[in-house]
Amino acid sequence: MTFSEEAWKHVASWYDAILAHPFVAGLADGTLPEDVFARYLLDDAHYLTSYGSTLAMLAARAGDPALSAGLAHAAAEAVEAERLMHEEFLVPRGLDPDGPDAAEPTPTCRAYAGTLLADAAYAPVEVGLAGVLPCFRVYLEVGRAIAAQATDPAHPYRAWIDTYSDPAFDAAVTRAEGWTDRLAEAATPERRTEMLAAYARATRFEWMFWDASWRGETWPTA
């Protein structure tokens, strides 16, 4: 069993919890309130900026030219595709994720993005890579699950569904998992345990991210 297969099996209960979350359920059947979806996309735009930096940091530390090039390409490709989707939904509604009046990232967004960036900078490269995998795999699996239900071309969140159920995204996920699996093969059992912990932590953050948007999480005021 490869590391990515083992890790996905390890977080099965969290994936089930993600599918059962009211945010994801509403996204699937189209009943998710538009303002909640917009709030999520704004937070996701902030997250993607840090996610791109995380991948770029890992590319710089990879120590292997092919892996460095692949990670750098993934950083640019993933962030650009998703930001275009954000702009298509948000800008017509007067919401600019890069504007001076954009909502600041939620505490959960800050915690998740900061954890990935810290691991990319200070943890072993294979541990940092394990931490970025759930953002790929969870979205692919959720996208597929929703696409199987949401067959109406006029679904209000069709662009989101199509983005994450697209074969091109599937290929990107497979590449990222392949890089990590190769590093895991050469890792010690102790290091592999660290990788699994990073993967599980990031998957838990994925649930928290959607939950934060659903709850309308904000920073406290004095």
Taking only the tens place, the pLDDT of each residue in 22-53 is 999 999 999 999 999 999 998 998 898 888 88
CA 52/CA 35 separation, integer angstroms:
26
Q: Which residue has the tokens 């200070």?
A: 122
pTM reported for the whole predicted model: 0.93
9-23, 49-63, 65-79, 193-207: which range is least confident on average? 65-79
Please give the Cα distance from 44 to 209 (Å, whole number): 9
pLDDT of 31: 97
Q: What is the pLDDT of residue 219?
A: 95
Give me the domains of the chain, ranges plus CATH numbers.
3-8+17-215 (1.20.910.10)
Single-letter residue type at 24:
V
What rounded mean pLDDT belongs to the chain? 91
How many CA atoms lie within 13 Å of 175's alpha carbon, on the beta-carbon side?
Answer: 18
Q: How does pLDDT run across 171-220, given as a tens digit for each residue?
A: 989 999 999 999 999 999 999 999 999 999 999 999 999 999 999 999 99
Q: In the chain, what percentage of residues exceed pLDDT 70?
A: 95
Confidence of residue 81 (pLDDT cuts 50, 70, 90): low
Residue 114 has pLDDT above 80, yes or no: yes
Residue 191: other Cβ atoms inside 10 A = 16
Q: Indicate if the pLDDT at residue 79 is higher than 70.
A: no
